[in-house]
A = this chain, B = another copy of it.
């Protein structure tokens, strides 16, 4: 049996941590007025809907690529264009379920193996996954500023 270096978080806890963040991001989406979700922006940045397009193009598809060791290019385009916030929430919930399903297929050894995500990011899988979480927290933090600028109180950061 392979001896593992002593490490500090279980796969189950890391998934729970990520899905906790994803639940908060969902509440941030909900907090936006319909129009502002698609249109409001500051300093030439993308509106929150476009940031969510990015997060949707990473989460489930990236994890699927990892689990199947199948390198697909990064792709934000989709056959059907989403034009309502409710459609984004639906896609978000689908991704939640898909992430849970793919996660079950990850073995403990996988986390330290290297994978060339989207054919561009060749890192140990644990670092790809931490990047997904960090990237989501980063963009959601930007969404908090949009909400504040719109006079809307965002959800508490520590609510998951």
Contacts and interface: CB of A to CB of B under 8 A. Distances in A.
Interface of A: 4-11, 13-14, 17, 21, 42-45, 108, 111-112, 126-127, 130-131, 133-135, 137-142, 144-151, 157-158
B108 A148 contact: no
A42 B143 CA distance: 12
16 contacts: A4-B6, A4-B7, A5-B10, A6-B108, A7-B9, A8-B10, A9-B9, A42-B42, A42-B145, A42-B148, A42-B149, A43-B151, A131-B158, A138-B141, A138-B144, A141-B142
Nearest to A138: B141
A28 to B, nearest CB: 11
Number of chain copies forming the complex: 2
A59 B127 CA distance: 21
Contacts of A8: 7, 9-11, 14, 108, 111-112, 126
A42 to B, nearest CB: 5
A57 to B, nearest CB: 16
Contacts of A112: 8
Given A45-B148, A140-B141, A142-B141, A126 B6 contact: no
Contacts of A144: 138, 141-142
Given A10-B5, A42-B145, A43-B145, A138 B150 contact: no
